[in-house]
C-alpha cells in the first residue's frame, strides 16, 4: 500500500504572506486546513503576495502548510493576454516542478492555474484529485475556459473530481461532495438557538459574501426599495469588495440607506452572531456551486432565498427555502413579502432547513474526504491533530448520511 507524504494543491486563490503567517480567502483556508489533517505536508502552488491580506482572508492554522509561489499574470487587456501567452512556458515549467516533488496532486477549478493543472497532472503517474468549486452544470454566460475545464475533468482527468451536487449522465469519477466551515462546537451553538419570532419588525435580512458584481447585491437593495411601503425590512450586508462604494451610493439614491447597514468584512465568529440575529439570508448570485453562506444560514435556522443556479435548488428543495432567478428584483421582493406575511410557514421552512444543514461540519468533511481518497487511491491517510476543532471523533454515521443528502436531495 502506497504511503503519501506531500500533497500539492494547485489553486487560483491569491495567498498572502504577512507577519510570518500565510493567509487566503476564509472558507478556502478552513477547507485546506482540513486537507492538511490528512497529509504530513501540504504545499500550495498559487499566487503569493507579500503584505496585509484583505478583510475576508483568514490565516491557515495547520503548521504543515506551505506555499510554492507561482508567477501571477492575468487581466483582460491585450497586453495582459500577450504577457500570459509569452510566460506560458515558465508557468508550465514551474507547475511541473511542483508536481514532480509531490506524492499526490489536488487541482482546484475553475481558474487559470486550474486549467493548466488539468492538462499537466495526468502526465504524472501520481494519485490525483480535482475539486470543481464552481457551478458544475452549464449556464448561460459561463466563461468558455470554465466550460473547457469541466470537459477536461470529465474526459481527460481520469481520477476523482469532487463537485457540488448530483448531476445526470456524469462519469463515475465525478463525485458529489460538500464543504463546511462550521465545526462541531459552532454547530452545537446553532442547535441551541431558540425559534425566531417572525412577528418581529423590522424583519432582519442578511447578505454574507464578497461585494462583487456576480453576487447581485444591488438586486437585494432594489428589492428593498420596491417593497418599502409594503413591509418593514432591514438589510445587513456582511462582507467587502470592489462594489461596496457603488452599492452604498445605490442605497442612498434609492432612499433606503437608513435601512441598509454595511458591516464590512468581519471574523467568522462575528458572522455567526449575524446568523443568530437575522430572519432571512439572501444570496441570489449569477452562478453558484455549494454556497457556504446558505449552508451556514440554514444551520442557524434562517430562511434562505437563493438563485436558481448550481446546487442551490437541491439545497433549498423540499420547502427548505425559496428560489429566484438572478437579477429578478420583483421575484425577490415577492419572496420577501411572502415570508413577512406568512410567519407560520416561514417558521416551518426554517425548521426544515436547520435539520438538513446541521449534517455538515468540518469533522464530517474531513472524514468524508479520507474515505473517498482511500477508496479511490488504495491507500491509508493519516488523521492528524485538530487545531481549532472539537476533539470528539467524527460521527461516521452522520458523515455517511450527510454525503447521501448532498447527492440525493
Of all residues in the chain, the percent with pLDDT exceeding 90 is 66
Band of the pLDDT at 235, cuts 50, 70, 90? very high
My answer on whether 55 and 145 are in the same domain is yes
My answer on whether 345 and 376 are in the same domain is no
My answer on whether 305 and 240 are in the same domain is yes
Band of the pLDDT at 127, cuts 50, 70, 90? very high
Is residue 51 included in any domain, yes or no? yes
Core vs surface per residue 388-398: b (16+ CB within 10 A) or e: ebbeeebbeeb
Q: Determine the average pLDDT of the residues in 67-93.
A: 79
CB 65 within 8 A of CB 22: yes
Is residue 147 included in any domain, yes or no? yes
- Say yes or no to pLDDT of 389 above 70: no
SS3 326: coil
Sole residue written with cell 428560489: 323
- Say yes or no to pLDDT of 401 above 50: no
Is residue 120 included in any domain, yes or no? yes
Q: Comparing 8-17, 247-256, 398-407, which segment has the lowest mean pLDDT?
A: 398-407
Q: Comparing 270-284, 365-379, 380-394, which segment has the lowest mean pLDDT?
A: 380-394
Q: What is the pLDDT of residue 179?
A: 75
My answer on whether 150 and 238 are in the same domain is no
Please count the structural domains in the chain. 2
362 to each of 30, 32, 38, 164, how far by Cα in Å?
8, 11, 13, 16
My answer on whether 208 and 276 are in the same domain is yes
Q: Determine the average pLDDT of the residues in 296-300.
A: 95
Is residue 400 included in any domain, yes or no? yes
Q: What is the pLDDT of residue 88?
A: 86
Band of the pLDDT at 392, cuts 50, 70, 90? very low
My answer on whether 248 and 303 are in the same domain is yes
- Say yes or no to pLDDT of 109 above 60: yes
My answer on whether 170 and 195 are in the same domain is no
My answer on whether 60 and 127 are in the same domain is yes
My answer on whether 309 and 384 are in the same domain is no
Structural domain boundaries enclosing 133 = 6-180+361-408
My answer on whether 219 and 315 are in the same domain is yes
- Is the CA virtual torsion 62, 68, 71, 76 positive or negative? negative
My answer on whether 81 and 192 are in the same domain is no
Distance, CA of 238 to CA of 191 (rounded, Å): 22
Is residue 1 included in any domain, yes or no? no
Is residue 123 included in any domain, yes or no? yes
According to DSSP, the residues that pair with 117 across neighbouring strands are: none
My answer on whether 276 and 317 are in the same domain is yes
Residue 16's CATH number: 3.40.50.2000
Distance, CA of 124 to CA of 105 (rounded, Å): 9
DSSP string, 357-408: HTT--HHHHHHHHHHHHHHHHTB-------TTS-SSPP-HHHHHHHHHHHHH
Distance, CA of 353 to CA of 347 (rounded, Å): 10
Q: Determine the average pLDDT of the residues in 137-152.
A: 91
Q: What is the pLDDT of residue 230?
A: 67
Q: Comparing 246-255, 358-367, 371-380, which segment has the lowest mean pLDDT?
A: 358-367
Amino acid at each position: 500500500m502506497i504511503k503519501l507524504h506531500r500533497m500539492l494543491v494547485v489553486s487560483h486563490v491569491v495567498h498572502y504572506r504577512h507577519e510570518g503567517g500565510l493567509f487566503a480567502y476564509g472558507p478556502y483556508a478552513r477547507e485546506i486546513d482540513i486537507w492538511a489533517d490528512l497529509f504530513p505536508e501540504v504545499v500550495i502552488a498559487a499566487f503569493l503576495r507579500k503584505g496585509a491580506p484583505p478583510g475576508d482572508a483568514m490565516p491557515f492554522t495547520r503548521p504543515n502548510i506551505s506555499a510554492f509561489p507561482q508567477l501571477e499574470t492575468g487581466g483582460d487587456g491585450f497586453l495582459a493576454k500577450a504577457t500570459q501567452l509569452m510566460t506560458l512556458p515558465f508557468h508550465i515549467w514551474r507547475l511541473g516542478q511542483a508536481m514532480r516533488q509531490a506524492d499526490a496532486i489536488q487541482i482546484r477549478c475553475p481558474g487559470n492555474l486550474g486549467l493548466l493543472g488539468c492538462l499537466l497532472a495526468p502526465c504524472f503517474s501520481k494519485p490525483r484529485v480535482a475539486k470543481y468549486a464552481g457551478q458544475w452544470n452549464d449556464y448561460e454566460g459561463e466563461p468558455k475556459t470554465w466550460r473547457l475545464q469541466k470537459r477536461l475533468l470529465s474526459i481527460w482527468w481520469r481520477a476523482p473530481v469532487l463537485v457540488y451536487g448530483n448531476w445526470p449522465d456524469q462519469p463515475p469519477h465525478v463525485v458529489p461532495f460538500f464543504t463546511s466551515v462550521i465545526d462541531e462546537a459552532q454547530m452545537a451553538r446553532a442547535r441551541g438557538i431558540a425559534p425566531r419570532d417572525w412577528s418581529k419588525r423590522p424583519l432582519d435580512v442578511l447578505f454574507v459574501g464578497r461585494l462583487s458584481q456576480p453576487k447581485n447585491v444591488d438586486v437585494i437593495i432594489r428589492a428593498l426599495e420596491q417593497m418599502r411601503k409594503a413591509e418593514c425590512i432591514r438589510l445587513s450586508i456582511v462582507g467587502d469588495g470592489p462594489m461596496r462604494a457603488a452599492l452604498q451610493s445605490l442605497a442612498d439614491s434609492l432612499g433606503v440607506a437608513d435601512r441598509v447597514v454595511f458591516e464590512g468584512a468581519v471574523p467568522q465568529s462575528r458572522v455567526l452572531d449575524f446568523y443568530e440575529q437575522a430572519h432571512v439570508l439572501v444570496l441570489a448570485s449569477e452562478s453558484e456551486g455549494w454556497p457556504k453562506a446558505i449552508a451556514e444560514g440554514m444551520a442557524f435556522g434562517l430562511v434562505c432565498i437563493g438563485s436558481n443556479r448550481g446546487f442551490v435548488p437541491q439545497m433549498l428543495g423540499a420547502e427548505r427555502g425559496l428560489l429566484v432567478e438572478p437579477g429578478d428584483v420583483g421575484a425577490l421582493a415577492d419572496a420577501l413579502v411572502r415570508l413577512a406575511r406568512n410567519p407560520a410557514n416561514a417558521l416551518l421552512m426554517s425548521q426544515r432547513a436547520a435539520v438538513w444543514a446541521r449534517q455538515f461540519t468540518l469533522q464530517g468533511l474531513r472524514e468524508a474526504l479520507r474515505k473517498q481518497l482511500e477508496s479511490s487511491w488504495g491507500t491509508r491517510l493519516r488523521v492528524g491533530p485538530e487545531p481549532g476543532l472539537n476533539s470528539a471523533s467524527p460521527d461516521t454515521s452522520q458523515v455517511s448520511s450527510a454525503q447521501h443528502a448532498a447527492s440525493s436531495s
